[in-house]
Chain A
Amino acid sequence: MRATLLFLLACLSLPAPALAQTVAPDGRGLGTPVLTLYMKVIGGLEQQLARADAGGDAAVLDRLLSPFFELRRPHQETLAREAWMAASRARMPHPEPAMMSELSVYEVGAEAIAYFMLRDADGRTRSVVDVWVRAENDWQLRVRFEQSLTAP
């Protein structure tokens, strides 16, 4: 787990232009895939989380967020679980849920690493890496790494 977190922190610390240069999709984009079970399950949880965050739904956030959840942003910015939940509840009026796109879910040992884009209703876009861990028969979000892709 520690190694995974260090790896993901290092990924987010890469400067944005370097990441942009690595975006080189295959280009053919043909066919229809059998999505992995993780795409189905984690994708569903991410959508639940986006709705709960937008709506300030404390019960759902409490279920989906690990007791040790934290949000990490560049420059050592950290937001702990309670602060994130409080910010979600305080947001008024509640915004539309952020739109998720470009989801991939990597299976790394017992953890699932989700990578995707989140676009808020106001058009701001974030690159997100989420680390989901097993919690009995379900999953909980242990840590989120996010970086704004929108110029301030």
Chain B
Amino acid sequence: MKSQTRMLLALTCAGLMSAAHAGSVKTSDDDVYKPTGKGVGELDAAATEAVHNGLTKSGGGGANGISYHGGPLITSVSGVNVYYIFYGSWTSNQQALLTSLMMGLGGTPIFNINTSYYDGSKRRVVNAVTLKGQANDNYSLGKSLSDANIQTIVANQIQAGALPSDTNGVYFVLTAPDVAETSGFGSQYCGWHTHGTIGGADIKYAFVGNATTIAPSGCGVNNPSPNGDGGIDGMASVIYHELSEASTDPDLNAWYDRRGQENADKCAWTFGTTFKTSNGATANNTFGGKNWLLQQNWVNASGGYCTLSY
């Protein structure tokens, strides 16, 4: 075996092993999880002990299968603000598609599902979404990004003045197909959201990658797809997923169930009633003059259920 081949093999194996540290599959029905950590959830030791001691009840959590844990939601009367950062090589058509998604999402029946979530003062998420800004990043941190790099990419845009600092906003780092996110993009997840302190402000941000290269089947890259670009159409559903969760659980301490699943997690990869578009693709939503295939979301009412509208 040539030394170069051996090195490649060792590096690839190393990647296989190190990535295993992220997710886990839970098996105990009495354990309680919270949505921190790169997995379905992380064991909440105090809550689990309470359940095991009979102090609280295990189960889906709340009458609707999801519980409020006291943290804030994005309940601004003007709705949720969104910022896009296109990382790497993007065509203008690709950017325009995702712009159409966000320009049309506010006011739709599918985003209205998030209005079934409220904070301790009964303030609800508003069915309005505004795409407030967009920026481009030409591979400033290379093609292999860590979780910390994602926050840095957001911080760089804010600190450079390209995007404002907005605590009612969700900043999406959207990566091109040749960009890896090394904590498990494609092997564990298609995207994620979190929050962090940037310039003294609590900034909510998300990562969503174009999975055309790394995980087309696992991240919903369809062919044909509603708008003729399977990678971008696949990202649309993941963006909707993350925006729903970032609105109802922005600081990871608001709405989630006992397994650590937030609202959209509970309905991931289910699409409800679909229809065929003129190009033969499968879709389930029409807004902004385009068809979309978006996953269902969990309604926090009537016992809780997955649906496409509320």
Contacts and interface: CB of A to CB of B under 8 A. Distances in A.
B191 A33 contact: yes
Given A36-B186, A102-B23, A29 B18 contact: no
Given A11-B13, A103-B23, A36 B252 contact: no
A102 B18 contact: no
Contacts of A26: 38, 146-148, 182-183
Given A38-B217, A107-B214, A32 B27 contact: no
Nearest to B41: A32
Contacts of A39: 23, 188-189, 218
B252 to A, nearest CB: 7
A99 B186 CA distance: 23
Contacts, number: 169
A31 B196 CA distance: 10
A152 B17 CA distance: 22
Given A25-B22, A101-B24, A33 B184 contact: yes
A38 B218 contact: yes
A151 interface: no
A35 B245 CA distance: 14
Nearest to B28: A99
Contacts of A125: none
Given A22-B14, A30-B196, A103 B191 contact: no
Question: Which size bracket describes the interface of B in this complex?
Answer: 35 or more
A34 B37 contact: no
Q: Most chain-B Cβ atoms within 10 A of its Cβ — which of A26, A37, A38?
A: A26
Question: What interface size band does chain A fall in?
Answer: 35 or more
Interface of A: 7, 10-11, 14, 18-19, 22-26, 28-40, 43, 46-47, 97, 99-107, 113, 115-117, 129
30 contacts: A7-B9, A11-B16, A14-B13, A19-B13, A23-B20, A26-B147, A26-B148, A28-B183, A29-B22, A29-B38, A30-B38, A31-B192, A31-B193, A31-B252, A32-B192, A32-B260, A33-B188, A34-B191, A34-B242, A35-B268, A37-B218, A37-B269, A101-B24, A102-B21, A103-B20, A103-B23, A104-B19, A106-B16, A107-B186, A115-B19
